[in-house]
Structure 1
Amino acid sequence: MSKFAVLATCNLNQWALDFEGNRDRIIESIKIAKKHDAKFRIGPELEVCGYGCQDHFLEYDTYLHSWQVLADILKDESCYGIVIDIGMPISFKGVRYNCRVICLDGKILLIRPKVWLANDGNYREMRYFIPWTERKVDQFQLPELIQKICRQKYVTIGDCVLDAGDVRVGFETCEEMFTPQSPHIQLALNGVEIFTNSSGSHHELRKFDKRLSLITGATRLCGGVYLYANQRGCDGDRLYYDGSAMIVVNGDVVGQASQFSLKEVEVVYARVDLREVRNYRSAVSFGMQTLNAIKYEVVHVDSLINDDNNHPSIRATKPVKKVQIFLPQQEIALGPACWLWDYLRRSKSSGFFLPLSGGIDSCSTALIVFSMCRIVVGECADGNQTVIEDARRLAKEEAPYIPTDPKEFCNRILSTCYMGTDNSSDDTRRRALELSKTIGSYHLDVNIQSCVESMISLVSLIFGRTPQYSVNGGSNSENLALQNIQARLRMVLAYTMAVLIPFFRGIGGSLLVLGSGNVDEALRGYFTKYDNSSADINPIGSISKEDLKRFVSYCAETFNSSILQEFIDATPTAELEPITSDYVQSDEVDMGLTYHELSAFGRLRKVNKLGPYSMFMRLRDEWQNDMDMEEIAEKVKRFFYYYSINRHKMTVLTPSYHAEAYSPDDNRFDLRPFLYRPFPYQFKLIDEYVKQYGSE
């Protein structure tokens, strides 16, 4: 006889400190799970308060309000009849823990604290929480408001197993799946057949494959059912949590929720046959290792097996034919777009303002906004009421308005502006205009040369001399100052326009200014501090130029737009110096490095943790067929020199969507000094090595 259990997991678009909204989404997910006869429901990590509370986890109020929200859920009888696994922070004996609270019919069965905390990259969990000791068990005295509801005073807290008699459930939380000694191994050897993982895992380009491999590998090795839940959306920070809730049985995906979506609540469920798990384990080297397994304490609960096991129509959910995995260019079209939508609707702004330069970076940003509009239109067509209401508010329309055309909706929420000077070319002006027509943005073409000349006149009055560009015989200082005047005036005008455009269009409010600097230029410091790279948010700030080109190429094909190919083919240029018969400013020439090389330097520096000397030694081998050792050495030294002298710029980078593992974001991700002596000892060692071996 088969032993069927219907299990549910979910993506929830939670928001830090949005206690009522978070509560309602949790309850809705429980109701949906029950509607499909699920006996167990798991939600994302810290779903009650939102994962991204940051230093609010140090405040007593966050814990008080989390208990109050849990009290509302425990009192709600529509949440009865199903075991619910809920994430929230808990203080125990004066120490803060990241916990799962397992409940059934208004009572708490178990509190399971996180054992291994995420404490690298974007995560600082050790700043807020203490890791729980493996397999430690204690008694937790519940707050009075919970005691009154549950009629319980104490509950077990610890790294335990939930025993339902006919099946055992074990728990992992996010990071614990990524650790070398993941709990699911010992849990399996203790007879656990259902593993849960409540996660707050963010999107990075090309990361999903790793996550999928870990989840499927967890049960392919030792059999079992794996329930993975994840947060989705912008939690109020640079990260976008990308959902992808899954149910996996013996290494096969039997349920997959979407990775990118504007749905507030998405539940995936499956009917699993636990006999299949037992049969699978009988075929692998499993039995003997259980003899040496470290034992877990157990907490008992009623059966999780559904009552209709004998009916001939009951079947286990079949594996998904093909797991959905997006290409990086598709991820750029979807992840930052969904992040922008959450940021826009929750900030209560009236839309976006974007300076269009006619180059590929601002083009990419505009296309991401247009992709957002396409997603919004799609969700509205599917009847997503939350998106419809937000779209009406942003469009300043009442019912029955529903956006059906992405270009029409884009015109309402995106304003673009080409800010030209005497150094601007007709090609960039034309590309900006054609792009705006392609996506439907409200577009302006403004010549700011008079502003530039006024500033130059003021400088001339102060110093009694008019600065000149290098091509006209000026010094480097004069040339730099003249370029920066244009760049910074564009920033001032951008913020002015962001306030005045809604006024003159009669829509009220103000616009969010979008930045469009890429990760490679930020890493090199190739931008003017407080120029139009300074903005409210930047959707491409941690995406490489090479990935942006792939993204624009994908959009050219998807949108059937010929103008986009011109952006790809154009030479990247800031257009801050005069164009002459024999000189056109080029970004890669100015930097002395190609964008391909910058991406390589970025990954080696951040991901591979290589300093100047080790990076040179690595590239000596990797690039030996492309350039000689002296050139490699000069490029490495050039990169680190400009990285060091421009490091201060990275402390004021516009908050950017996190998409790349080598992002130089100083405020959260890449913590380094901003005053350097530019590596004289390391450079000397490189030079000595080249002198000794360079001629061989």
Structure 2
Amino acid sequence: MKQGFVKVAAVTPKIVVADTKENTALICAEIKKAEKEGAKIIVLPELCITGYTCSDLFLQEKMLREARQSLLEIAAFTFALDCIVFVGLPLEYNGKLYNVAAAVSNGKVLGFVPKTYLPNYNEFYEARHFTRGMEEMVQVSLGEEVVPMGKKLLFTCQTMPELKIGVELCEDLWTPEPPSIRHALNGANVIVNLSASDETTGKDIYREELVGGQSARLLCGYIYASAGDGESTQDVVYSAHNIIAENGRILKKAKRFANETVYSEIDVLRLNAERRRMTTFETRMDGYTEIPFALKIEETELTRYIDPMPFVPGSKTDRERRCDEILSIQAMGLKKRLEHTHCKSAVIGISGGLDSTLALLVTVRAFDLLGMDHKNIKAVTMPGFGTTDRTYDNAVSLIKCLNADFMEVSIRDAVNIHFRDIGQDPKVHDVTYENGQARERTQILMDIANKTGGMVIGTGDLSELALGWATYNGDHMSMYAVNASVPKTLVRHLVRYYADTCGDEALEAVLLDVLDTPVSPELLPPEDGKISQKTEDLVGPYELHDFYLYHMLRLGYAPAKIYRLAKVAFVGTYDDETILKWLKTFYRRFFAQQFKRSCLPDGPKVGSVAVSPRGDLRMPSDASARIWMEELEALNTERR
């Protein structure tokens, strides 16, 4: 329950048709098991107290009376349990029979939600027995209590007010206007569905698409519990296809035909953050009644997968598709800019590193789209005090493989003259020593662009912009920044994808060696001919920073939550101390370096996270990081 995580369960007991007493015992046993596993929201199938397949037995007064008694026993069973349970039963009210979901918690029945849409086609005959749920709330006598019943009920956790649960039943989801839409617009961020969906060939795929799609459309968690083994197989079979989804992602699904209980954790605060961000998610006030319940606030052990590479698709097929798509977005963006400005050339500084390599590959693709000669790509290598033979050779080979116009301009003499003019001792390898080289390179590129009627193509990536790892008015500046929204972890995969698909052995060999070269600005002299200045030794591993960036900007998470997730995602890779150390670095640099991002050149957005001041990130350059750093310091204290 801490930091917005709520453990949930979708449960299918092996019921006995029409045996309410046996089913009560089975349901209570499953509730106990799920609660022991830490589940706070437990969802069971539609009509599971009696069985969905009772057919005309639903019209028997004895059956209905026993179902009510069973519900009271199940409610009483939850008295000492820390959970809210949703269970299905037939319920008579005012001479009509309703297919309802009952919410029970802490020994009480909290409310009944009746099914809205009653299927009466193909193998379904629900309208034979049941009445469509009423619009206005009514009060139902149950034992000594009076319980609200209606379609407009939400169940709100008093101890975690951010959690609001809405209910729909089976067919409700399959209709053009599911009740969950109205629930969500009135505040529900978790939807539970008590279902009895029979199995036919291929139906499972569609069912998963429905559940996943609804959770994405409504920015909600969705818990789908369906009938399974135990129901009558007179004409159909039920598979217990239980599903837990969150914002379009299937967190867990059951093995069909196994009555498998599935568990996962829904991140309620993430869902609320997504809704805050999406201004078109317009809330309403349709006269819903909120029914309170309480759960203990305690640590929730995370079993859901936390992706250490949130920018990089896990499967090879998805990754290749994403890479091709991003390269196309980058190239199309540059193509339009070149067309609009009637540029005759594109000028790129090629260092032999990852970012400039990607920028050159994108430029080549843009030129191919325009039908322009690669010789109009002015690929400039500018060796300086830190350039190594490896990166220089890779730069030269890359330019030649792509048939770009190779240019070499050494910056050593110009920078030494500049150092003399400003009184900088070349033996002092400070920030002036480093940035003087970066700004000299940018001046060279800009002037070549003027001379050749072209524009300078920026090479810096999203991760560097987040950390401010760029020289202001040096590599920070260009005329079109094709990599500006591509994180470093994804840059690697884009270059590798190009290597794998280019069909040119020489080019592939160069690209693979670039991938194998440590990331470095090469502004300090090499040691024994090798790179002495490794970026990740100075600012931290980019895979950590990309993880932090995604969860901070995309999801709005607080530092403590990001730290918690990173510990899970990178277990066995980084220890807690290392994760916290670089998280502090990330926040400190992210806030301090906003002034660089406030005046970025244009560049195409390729993903869900970007830092353009004209697009995704409207942040003051003078914002204080104090409250974020204080939370991180508190974590440091806890670790001691």
Which has the higher Rg, Structure 1 or Structure 2? 2
